[in-house]
């Protein structure tokens, strides 16, 4: 709540220009977007915590509830001020990068220098990209910039805005059935198939496309050849948006943070396979706060509706109410014949089948300010690996899997001294069923990284050839139908197995 108090005080004295607001939200050592990061971490920990059935944790529950309420209050204050200033501004806004310029300004110039990967991440909020950059900073020269997304902030529009020619002209059009699309270069772009085809036609270089899953845990020969034989590598990730829109709040809270770890590994794999520059971009951000109550749901304008989501209405005619902004898309710098309406705060429109807590489409900073990250691998001299010369001990807390929580003690001993000293690797512990991970790490005795679930081991103070023992707690995510699961200890960076997997008997069914 300290962060909500800080941001709340600053928002009450917030600047009145959009560039200054974007800077306050996204730039500096203490940007306002840190509030979103702290809230995301709190919610992840909340869903990882085993609350007592009695009253032992009543005080903790009250604190969490108050923190959630304050986040919504301060977030709504910020959204109202930002949307107000954004609606008054002359568009395009001088001094701000547009999402539509990403290919022309961030991708195209690097294609003459070498192989480029263009990574499209659905719903990657700016604060998440900022955290990902922190995780990659030791191994990459990187630049993370905020940009203004393309409205409405939905996948069909934002993803198409990442294409070549979008900087010249992009028009929001209706394709019927309550769906919108973006017309780029005279072509109506509806879905991933259209986006990939358009990119291959207009990129000016050979393009290979794959999904993030195709890189993990390691790419197949087909994917490796595709990376090797093409100049532009398109990688798409839909995991964040899919988790959020599934409307299973517990699963989304528990797993969204893990996507950052997958992105980190994917970026490293691309660099290891000769990709010189990696440009990571998002189509839109998102809101993921409290479950909305009836008091937070408002009537949409009605009229001729071309698209309606919890956070945005696009159409013609209908009503206009004080509870939301209604204006033309053209007045916001987006070519279209339609109007747009979006709540001023974290409120949501009444929408059949709409989600409960995860939304996008509106103009809050969390939805509209999107990241573009340019990464270039730092050339480092080869350092002898210590992992292969370490004997690892993996000791399960129990011989059987009997509850959702499972603890594992790990420690490593260097078989012989090295001139380079002993630098333990970051590790990851997983339970796997049919080669698929069914667990997430939730804590460790020390060195636990919230954003990725990785554990940084350290050398024992008593023995420089041994790691300090560390107990890692795992939580099962899926129902287990198999009689056994595998327990794996992995190098967090390379994915290499550090010790032979152990077989654990399953004695429960979640």
Q: In this model, does residue 23 exceed pLDDT 60?
A: yes
Tokens of 48: 């990882």
Q: What is the DSSP string of 72-100?
A: HHHHHHHHHHHHHHHHHS-SSPTT--BGG
The residue among 180, 112, 101 whose CA lies nearest residue 146 is: 101
Range 369-384 average pLDDT: 78
* Number of residues that make up the chain: 510
Q: What is the pLDDT of residues 172-190, one digit of tens each?
A: 999 999 999 999 999 999 9
Res. 290 pLDDT band, cuts 50 70 90: confident
Would you call 416 helix, strand, or coil by DSSP? Answer: coil
Q: What is the pLDDT of residues 436-491, one digit of tens each?
A: 888 989 999 999 988 888 999 999 999 988 999 999 999 888 778 889 999 999 99
> Per mean pLDDT, which range of 14-23, 188-197, 388-397, 414-423 is the poorest?
414-423
pTM summary value: 0.87
Q: How far apart are CA 121 and CA 101, in angstroms?
A: 17
Average pLDDT, whole number, for the chain? 92
pLDDT of residue 350: 94
Q: What is the pLDDT of residues 186-242, one digit of tens each?
A: 999 999 999 999 999 999 999 999 999 999 888 999 999 999 999 999 999 999 999
Res. 55 pLDDT band, cuts 50 70 90: confident
The residue among 80, 70, 82, 77 whose CA lies nearest residue 38 is: 70
Res. 53 pLDDT band, cuts 50 70 90: confident
SS3 content of the chain, % helix, strand, coil (to 5): 30, 30, 40
Specify the CATH architecture of the domain 387-506.
Sandwich (2.60)
Q: How far apart are CA 103 and CA 118, in angstroms?
A: 9
All structural domains of the chain with their residue ranges:
99-287+370-377, 387-506
The CB density around residue 194, as the number of other CB atoms within 10 Å, is 19
Range 89-114 average pLDDT: 96
């Amino acid at each position: 709540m300290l962060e909500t108090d800080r941001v709340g005080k600053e928002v009450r004295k917030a600047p009145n220009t959009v560039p200054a607001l974007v800077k306050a939200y996204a730039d500096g050592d203490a940007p306002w977007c840190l509030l979103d990061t702290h809230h995301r971490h709190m919610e992840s920990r909340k869903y990882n915590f085993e609350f007592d059935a009695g009253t032992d944790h009543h005080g903790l529950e009250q604190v969490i509830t108050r923190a959630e309420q304050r986040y919504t209050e301060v977030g709504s204050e910020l959204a109202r001020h930002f949307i107000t200033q954004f609606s008054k501004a002359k568009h395009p806004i001088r001094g701000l990068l547009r999402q539509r310029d990403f290919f022309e300004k961030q991708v195209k110039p690097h294609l003459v220098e070498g192989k480029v990967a263009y990574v499209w991440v659905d719903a990657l909020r700016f604060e998440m990209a900022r955290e990902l950059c922190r995780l990659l900073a030791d191994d990459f020269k990187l630049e993370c910039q905020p940009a203004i997304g393309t409205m409405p902030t939905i996948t069909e529009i934002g993803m198409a805005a990442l294409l070549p020619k979008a900087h010249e002209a992009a028009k929001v059009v209706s394709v019927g059935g309550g769906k919108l699309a973006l017309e780029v270069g005279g072509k109506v772009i509806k879905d991933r198939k259209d986006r990939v085809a358009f990119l291959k036609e207009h990129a000016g270089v050979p393009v290979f496309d794959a999904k993030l899953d195709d890189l993990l845990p390691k790419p197949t020969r087909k994917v490796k050849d595709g990376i090797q034989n093409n100049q532009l590598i398109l990688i798409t990730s839909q995991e964040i948006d899919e988790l959020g829109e599934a409307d299973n709040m517990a699963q989304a809270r528990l797993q969204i943070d893990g996507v950052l770890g997958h992105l980190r590994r994917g970026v490293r794999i691309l660099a290891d396979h000769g990709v010189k520059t990696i440009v990571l971009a998002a189509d839109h951000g998102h809101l993921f706060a409290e479950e909305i109550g009836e008091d937070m749901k408002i009537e949409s304008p009605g009229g001729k509706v071309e698209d309606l989501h919890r956070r945005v209405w696009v159409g013609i005619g209908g009503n206009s109410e004080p509870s939301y902004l209604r204006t033309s898309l053209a007045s916001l710098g987006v070519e279209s014949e339609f109007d747009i309406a979006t709540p001023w705060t974290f409120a949501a429109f009444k929408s059949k089948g709409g989600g409960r807590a995860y939304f996008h489409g509106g103009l809050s900073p969390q939805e509209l300010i999107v990241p573009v990250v340019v990464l270039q691998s730092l050339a480092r001299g080869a350092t002898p690996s210590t992992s292969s010369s370490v004997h690892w001990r993996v000791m399960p807390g129990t011989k059987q899997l009997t509850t959702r929580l499972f603890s594992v003690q790990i420690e490593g001993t260097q078989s012989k001294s090295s001139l380079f000293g002993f630098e333990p690797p970051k590790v990851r512990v997983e339970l796997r069923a049919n080669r698929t991970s069914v667990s997430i790490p939730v804590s460790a005795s020390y060195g636990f990284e919230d954003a990725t679930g990785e554990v940084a081991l350290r050398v024992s103070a008593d023995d420089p050839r041994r790691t300090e023992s560390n107990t890692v707690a795992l939580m099962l995510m899926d129902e287990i139908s198999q009689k056994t699961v595998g327990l794996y200890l992995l190098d967090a960076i390379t994915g290499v197995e550090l010790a032979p997997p152990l077989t654990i008997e399953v004695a429960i069914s979640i």
